A = this chain, B = another copy of it.
Amino acid sequence: MRIDCLQYANWSEKIFRQLREGQVDAIHVTIAYHEGFRETVLNFERWNRWFEQYPDLIIKGLRADDIDLARQTGRTAVFFGFQNPSPMEDDIGLIEILHTLGARFMQLTYNNQSLLATGCYEDYDSGLTRMGRQVIREMNRVGLVVDMSHSGDRSTIEAAEFSDRPIAITHANPHDWHPALRNKRAPVIRAVTENGGMLGFSVYPHHLKNKSDCALTEFCDMIARAAETYGARHLGIGTDLCQDQPDSVVEWMRVGRWTKEIDYGEGSSAAPGFPPMPPWFQDNRDFGNIEAGLRATGLSDDEVAGIMGENWYRFFAENFGPEE
């Protein structure tokens, strides 16, 4: 089983076919960065058309057993998430509405302070806000997973501890392997995984040691060490693949509508665009490289199967439905 817990591609029939070639059974797709509610609904509408146009390639994913159906019928189940809480605007009632429409992950912040928590680019992380705590309770109730990939350390630790259900960092790597601002320090990963949560390893070059030149063995050794430290069952893949996107999209991701200046995020004025992906992971057909690389590290077959998809499957099965 192969599950990728974060992609934001410029979707097309070509990519849907590559998902099948790569035997990817499920993906978590970012369906909103800075979009408000109505704009997010338009994005759901666009996906509805794709599900109607490509019924032999993709199905909408709402529950873990949609992945079983996808596997039985040779398709990919597409689950949705937000990288910012902007789709819920200031209305806690929209959480259940968005869950009904298909949202299964929501980041409490995207780099900046939100109404709910502090992003990882702010100078000071003040932790969960009053509304943030209310929103986590409601997300727990309906089965919308808290994702802290772009949040600050304190906010993430507080969310992991406050939430009644496990939370996720869908796409980031350990900070002690590559000290990028977006990578996660050990106490953060520990707080998430000790509370039953998941870490998805990113292949986005800014999150990799030596960026686009990172070797597959380096990437897989990092995962093997994380398995020793945090337990393999809390680990998965979240590539952050942004295939076929123009550079205007990475600017939208970073800038949204919150500033009139350019914010380069993990890039720079000299290199403002998407960085080139490493040669061993160009697109969805390359998951076999990661799987082979993980096997070569000495991880057991069960551990590799867990990291490649079964751990996310179990997490989806336990966390996408109403609280019991």
Contact = CB atoms under 8 A, between A and B. Distances in A.
Contact of A48 (B41, B93, B101): B93
Contacts of A37: 38, 41
Contacts of A97: 41, 44-45, 48, 101
Query: How often does this chain occur in the complex, in copies?
Result: 2
Contacts of A100: 100-102
Interface in A21-65: 37-38, 41-42, 44-46, 48-49
Given A100-B100, A100-B101, A94 B48 contact: no
A318 interface: no
A322 to B, nearest CB: 10
Q: Dominant SS at the A interface?
A: helix
Nearest to A96: B48
Interface residues of A, number: 17
Contacts of A94: 41, 45
A94 B37 CA distance: 13
Q: A37, A42, A91, A97: which has the most chain B beta carbons within 10 Å?
A: A97
A42 B97 CA distance: 9
Contacts of A49: 93
Contacts of A46: 93
A31 to B, nearest CB: 13
Nearest to A91: B45
A27 to B, nearest CB: 20
Contacts of A38: 37-38
Nearest to A100: B101
Nearest to A92: B45
Nearest to A45: B93
A45 to B, nearest CB: 3
Interface string A304-324: 000000000000000000000
A49 B37 CA distance: 19
8 contacts: A45-B91, A45-B94, A45-B97, A48-B93, A48-B96, A48-B97, A49-B93, A100-B101
Interface of A: 37-38, 41-42, 44-46, 48-49, 91, 93-94, 96-97, 100-102
3 closest cross-chain pairs (CB), A and B: A45-B93, A48-B96, A41-B97
